[in-house]
Homo-oligomer: A and B are copies of this chain.
Amino acid sequence: MRITALAGGVGGARFIRGLLAHLESRPDLAGSRVTVIGNTGDDITLFGLRVCPDLDTLLYTLGGAVSDTQGWGRADETHRVQGELAAYGVEPQWFALGDLDLGAHIARSQWLGQGLSLSEVTGRLAARWGLPERGVTLLPMTDTPVETHVVVDEGDGPRAVHFQEWWVRMQAKVPASRFVAVGMDRAAAAPGVLDAIRQADVVLLPPSNPVVSIGVILGVPGVRDALRGTPAPVVGVSPLISGAPVRGHADACLQAIGLDSTTAAVAGLYEDFLDGWLVAPGDEGSVSRRGLAVESRPLLMTDVAAAADIAGAALDLAERLRPA
């Protein structure tokens, strides 16, 4: 089976890890190929190094190297380099860069500097983490640098800051009024992205942030059209449970674009292409649209087995929705 998923960081990575575990338990699905289209709107250049937080979270999680307590970054991480940067007075210091993590940023920056595309660089990084052997292709949504900026007002008038500054430094506590994907007007989908959606047997939307992760990927020219046009069923997993994000700040993001923090509001963002929608028990009632199959089940990804069960349920729902 050809499965294509759009993914942000932690939630997306844990879902895909569960999906792979599920596939490995299904002899009937042996040989399945999973293409993950990762959000690159969170990317940032720090200390001259190109950092791709969502792609790295996907790589580390699928490569078995993620810090499970954090959900992102490397296990057994240290911060000796960053301690030095602080001692030298280099700014900014609000974004934690571990030593092991820096290896990826330096490798990526070196290769980008040599003229490789982000797709090519991501392929090289993925090789180290064994993704090809597991049947996984990780694609950045675009090879064009796109950065999500956030319009905030700390009391002295509106100004735009990089998404990471809002998310990490401000902890999303400063109200946002708008998100702008800077560079998107010049962006094209990375090679393979649109075909992966058009030629999939199933398209999955993991429980990633609907605004700043999935929403940004949907803004890449051609992606939304490909989702509308694909013959594959498109099944999403709600990132909200009883109206609250399990982690992250999806509620603040929805509020910024004028939406309630509800499963229905999220489904509304996908209404032109969503076929199936997995929600948490108790959240079914709020969603109803002709042609949308809604199913409820526990959605907390407490461990890999729980995530595998959720992914399996999404595949089952897709199977039932697939045109005969």
Contact = CB atoms under 8 A, between A and B. Distances in A.
A199 to B, nearest CB: 30
B81 A106 contact: yes
16 contacts: A48-B113, A78-B78, A80-B80, A80-B100, A83-B103, A84-B100, A85-B103, A85-B107, A88-B103, A88-B104, A88-B107, A88-B124, A88-B125, A89-B124, A89-B128, A99-B99
Contacts of A83: 103
A48 B84 contact: no
Interface string A92-111: 00000001101110110111
A83 B88 CA distance: 24
Interface of A: 47-49, 78, 80-85, 87-90, 99-100, 102-104, 106-107, 109-111, 113, 124-125, 128
A178 B128 CA distance: 40
Nearest to A88: B107
Contacts of A80: 78, 80, 99-100, 103
B128 A106 contact: no
A48 B89 CA distance: 21
A68 to B, nearest CB: 19
Contact of A84 (B89, B104, B124): B104
Contact of A109 (B47, B102, B128): B47
A100 B125 CA distance: 24
Contact of A110 (B47, B125, B128): B47
Given A78-B80, A80-B78, A81-B81, A87 B103 contact: yes
B90 A110 contact: yes
Contacts of A113: 48
A103 B84 contact: yes
Contacts of A49: 48, 106
Contact of A107 (B84, B124, B128): B84
Given A47-B106, A49-B106, A106-B47, A99 B128 contact: no
A49 B102 CA distance: 13
Nearest to A90: B107
A78 to B, nearest CB: 6
A84 B124 CA distance: 13
Contact of A102 (B78, B81, B87): B81
Q: Which 8 A-B pairs have the closest CB atoms?
A: A84-B103, A88-B107, A80-B99, A90-B107, A47-B110, A47-B106, A81-B103, A48-B113
